[in-house]
């Protein structure tokens, strides 16, 4: 027996990092007036087929799909947006005052081969905004993402933005691309060939040298945009400038999900390499709410891969705030003292102090060692003498200073020392 492939345990010493990420995300979202939403970890399979797109890699080969006991097809969520949109529609949030600004945090599942910064169960922090086309929101969402990285202490995050137009524009652009690539068909690599008629935009970011050379001359989607899209794109850029968000226009930026319209963006960090370097991405999805049965309400959001954020934190040696030190370790000598320690320990904890004792009947020396391991600020020694006198020995570990204190004064003494 072992842990399933592509999954991993987050052990206590790592959990502090996760708390740090969550806390930071929550604080920033609160500042930007986003509220948390928690949706199920699995949904009906059809939600993703319709929402994410039938021809995407995610739906074609990466979903964890299973039948329940009533033979309903369910799928462990491969991404966050579809579920949040479903919830938005189902709970008729479009009836509330718009825009509705939401964020989420949690595990996602994709059946892929594990690799650096890629797991089968991984975690995302994401936001979604519904009900406004205002390009200022596009800029807000991007700057919120960037604020998250910065607030964590990650530097060098690059923002790439593009405008992928409307589905109609993309259809026309596809024709142009096919027209351009067709004469080179024989020179393209296998992957590019298979994409030529299905999704030629994907050829643009190929890593195969010859394909890349050919792709360099391909027409840009920006030249195919209609006036409204172009204006929208320009306004997003000017708002980003207002917010002092550095960005690069990348007309080759393609996202993996079908639902994106207009603005598409990515957060990247160079040190982590080509794959893990994309630490977040998102865009606008103006047709999705309708596609999933809601009214014509537009949306925009991003998903940030937290495993990759953690890679970046480690790469850049960002210090994680450590856990609370132990206020007091109770050393006990003898059975009487062990009994008495139960109550004393309860009192310490009841007073809000972090306190611990030995449970393995260890020798005093070993108990002191344990206290050190816990980084205890004080050690209180309780033995027969103390029980008889009602006074307990309290040692401040850093200075080695030791005092005798009335047992009922211990709590207030420790609270003073904080």
Partner RNA sequence: GCGGUCGUGGUGAAGCGGUUAACACACCGGAUUGUGGCUCCGGCACUCGAGGGUUCGAAUCCCUUCGAUCGCCCCA
For 226-256, the three-class secondary structure string (H helix, E strand, C coil) is: CHHHHHHHHHHHHHHHHCCCCCEECCCCCCC
The contacts of residue 213 (CB under 8 Å, 6+ apart) are none
Under the binding rule (CB under 7 A), the answer on residue 255 touching RNA is: yes
Give the nearest distance from C-beta 388 to RNA in angstroms: 8
Under the binding rule (CB under 7 A), the answer on residue 393 touching RNA is: yes
Stretch that binds RNA, among 17-25, 31-39, 136-144, 249-257 (CB under 7 A): 249-257
What is the dihedral sign for C-alpha 145, 291, 122, 266?
A: negative
Out of 46, 55, 91, 115, the residue judged to bind RNA by CB under 7 A: 115
Q: Taking CB under 7 A as the criterion, which residues in 184-213 touch RNA?
A: 191, 195, 202, 205-208
**Of 229, 271, 265, whose CA–CA distance to 246 is shortest?**
265
According to DSSP H, which parts of 52-200 are helical? 57-61, 81-90, 135-152, 167-181, 190-196
Give the nearest distance from C-beta 282 to RNA in angstroms: 8
Q: What are phi and psi of 249, to 5 degrees?
A: -75, 130
Under the binding rule (CB under 7 A), the answer on residue 55 touching RNA is: no
What would you report as the CA-atom Rg of the chain, rounded to the nearest whole angstrom? 28
Out of 24, 56, 232, 286, the residue judged to bind RNA by CB under 7 A: 56
What is the dihedral sign for C-alpha 247, 251, 256, 260?
A: positive
Give the nearest distance from C-beta 45 to RNA in angstroms: 18
**Edge-to-edge strands of the sheet including 73-76?**
42-44, 73-76, 64-67
Q: Applying CB under 7 A, what is the total number of residues that bind RNA?
A: 71
Distance CA 381, CA 338 (A): 11
Distance CA 281, CA 271 (A): 17
Q: Which is nearer to RNA, 9 or 416 (CB)?
A: 9
Q: Taking CB under 7 A as the criterion, which residues in 266-295 touch RNA?
A: 266, 273-276, 278-281
Stretch that binds RNA, among 140-148, 177-185, 230-238, 359-367 (CB under 7 A): 359-367
Q: Which is nearer to RNA, 1 or 319 (CB)?
A: 1
Q: Which is nearer to RNA, 69 or 365 (CB)?
A: 365
Stretch that binds RNA, among 27-35, 177-185, 340-348, 389-397 (CB under 7 A): 389-397
**Of 371, 384, 378, whose CA–CA distance to 337 is shortest?**
384
Give the nearest distance from C-beta 295 to RNA in angstroms: 25
Q: Which is nearer to RNA, 294 or 301 (CB)?
A: 301
Neighbours of 346 (CB within 10 A): 11
Distance CA 140, CA 134 (A): 10
Under the binding rule (CB under 7 A), the answer on residue 386 touching RNA is: yes
Give the nearest distance from C-beta 279 to RNA in angstroms: 5
Give the nearest distance from C-beta 64 to RNA in angstroms: 12
The contact pattern for RNA, residues 123-142, with x = CB under 7 A and - = no contact, is -x------------------
Give the nearest distance from C-beta 168 to RNA in angstroms: 21
The contacts of residue 166 (CB under 8 Å, 6+ apart) are 226, 229, 261, 262, 286
Under the binding rule (CB under 7 A), the answer on residue 9 touching RNA is: no
Out of 10, 30, 116, 249, the residue judged to bind RNA by CB under 7 A: 116
For residue 271, the surrounding DSSP H or E stretch is none
Under the binding rule (CB under 7 A), the answer on residue 112 touching RNA is: yes
Q: Which is nearer to RNA, 86 or 195 (CB)?
A: 195
Q: Which is nearer to RNA, 140 or 266 (CB)?
A: 266
The contacts of residue 11 (CB under 8 Å, 6+ apart) are none
Under the binding rule (CB under 7 A), the answer on residue 304 touching RNA is: yes
For residue 222, the surrounding DSSP H or E stretch is none
Distance CA 259, CA 225 (A): 17
Give the nearest distance from C-beta 231 to RNA in angstroms: 26
């Amino acid at each position: 027996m072992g842990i399933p492939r592509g999954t991993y345990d987050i052990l206590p010493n790592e959990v502090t990092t996760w708390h740090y990420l969550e806390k930071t995300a929550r604080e920033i979202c609160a500042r930007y007036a986003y509220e948390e939403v928690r949706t199920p970890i699995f949904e009906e399979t059809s939600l993703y087929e319709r929402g994410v797109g039938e021809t995407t890699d995610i739906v074609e080969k990466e979903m964890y799909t299973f039948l329940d006991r009533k033979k309903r097809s369910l799928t462990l969520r491969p991404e966050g947006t579809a579920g949040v949109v479903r919830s938005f529609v189902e709970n008729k949030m479009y009836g509330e005052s718009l825009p509705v600004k939401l964020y989420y945090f949690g595990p996602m599942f994709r059946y892929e081969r594990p690799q650096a910064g890629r797991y089968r169960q991984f975690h995302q922090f994401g936001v979604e905004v519904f009900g406004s086309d205002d390009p200022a929101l596009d800029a807000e969402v991007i700057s919120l993402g960037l604020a998250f990285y910065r607030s964590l202490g990650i530097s060098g995050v690059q923002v790439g933005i593009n405008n992928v137009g409307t589905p109609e524009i993309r259809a026309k652009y596809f024709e142009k691309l096919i027209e351009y690539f067709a004469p080179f068909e024989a020179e393209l690599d296998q992957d590019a060939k298979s994409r030529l008629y299905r999704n030629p935009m994907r050829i643009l970011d190929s890593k195969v040298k010859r394909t890349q050379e050919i792709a360099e001359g391909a027409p840009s989607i920006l030249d195919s945009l209609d006036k409204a899209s172009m204006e929208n794109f320009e306004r997003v850029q000017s708002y980003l400038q207002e917010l002092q968000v550095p960005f690069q226009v990348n007309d080759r930026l393609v996202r993996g999900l079908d639902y994106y319209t207009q603005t598409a963006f990515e957060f990247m960090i160079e040190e982590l390499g080509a794959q893990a370097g994309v630490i977040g991405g998102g865009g606008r999805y103006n047709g999705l709410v309708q596609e999933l049965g809601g009214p014509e309400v537009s949306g925009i959001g991003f998903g940030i891969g937290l495993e990759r954020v953690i890679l970046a934190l480690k790469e850049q040696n960002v210090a994680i705030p450590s856990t609370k030190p132990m206020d007091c370790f109770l050393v006990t000598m003898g059975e009487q003292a062990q009994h008495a320690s139960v109550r004393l320990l309860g009192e310490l904890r009841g007073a809000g102090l972090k306190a611990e004792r030995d449970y393995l009947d260890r020798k005093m020396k070993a108990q002191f060692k344990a206290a050190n391991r816990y980084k205890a600020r004080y050690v209180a020694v309780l033995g027969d003498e103390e029980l008889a006198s009602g006074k307990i020995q309290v040692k401040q570990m850093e200075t080695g200073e030791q005092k005798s204190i009335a047992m009922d004064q211990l709590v207030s003494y420790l609270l003073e020392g904080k």
